[in-house]
Structures are given as C-alpha cells and as structure tokens.
Structure 1
Amino acid sequence: MSNKETLLSFGKYPETSLQQARKQRDEARELIKQGIDPCSLPKYQLFVKVQLIKYRINNEKVSID
C-alpha cells in the first residue's frame, strides 16, 4: 500500500443504501489495518475466480454415458 490517497466507491445512492456503504467503509478500514489495499482486492478476487474456473475446466473429467 502506498501513502497516496485514493478514492474508493461503494456504489451509487439509492442503489447502495447508506447503511450498506457504512458497512463497506468499516470493512475497508479493517483491511487497511491489516495492510491490505481495499482498492486492489476486487481485482485479486476476480483473478482468483478466473484461475479457479480455468482449473475446473482443465481438470474436469468428462464421462460419456
């Protein structure tokens, strides 16, 4: 993480309620305390999902009945 200030958006109002935004803000603060950049987390989660899908496709056993 850098010391540079960044903007983190949780969605547009009213699609995202104030209560939801506050909860996500608190979660982001916890990640920062752990040294994790909350802005990079969605990219990492997407990367992991793609890798898991690729693994499942390549290692799936096809049975012909």
Structure 2
Amino acid sequence: MDYQFLDAFALRAGVTTQPTTVSLGTGWKLENGVKMDVAAIYHTYLGITPSISVSYGK
C-alpha cells in the first residue's frame, strides 16, 4: 500500500505470508531530482532489516 502526501512525500506499508513479513517505509522527492526512501521490514526469523535508498533523476 502506498499513500502519497502532496507530490513530495509518501508513506508505504506491506504484509506478506510464508514467511510472514511486515514492512513500513517513507519516501521523499526533493526539488533537485533527488529521491530518498527509508524502510524497515520485520521477518519472523531474521528480525528487523532496515534499508535506505537514494537516487537521482528527473
């Protein structure tokens, strides 16, 4: 699921089964073309796995 606030901010969430995982994240689009995403996934066996993504493009 992805919910877009304005044009520059998004909240994201997801769930999977077999194995069960829950993910939460957020994303930002800056005016200079930089996009940043931060997320965390909870896995029943591996625990919490954070991630960060930075990209550039127009």
TM-score normalised over the length of structure 1: 0.19
Point out the structure with the larger helix share: 1
Larger CA Rg, structure 1 vs 2 = 1
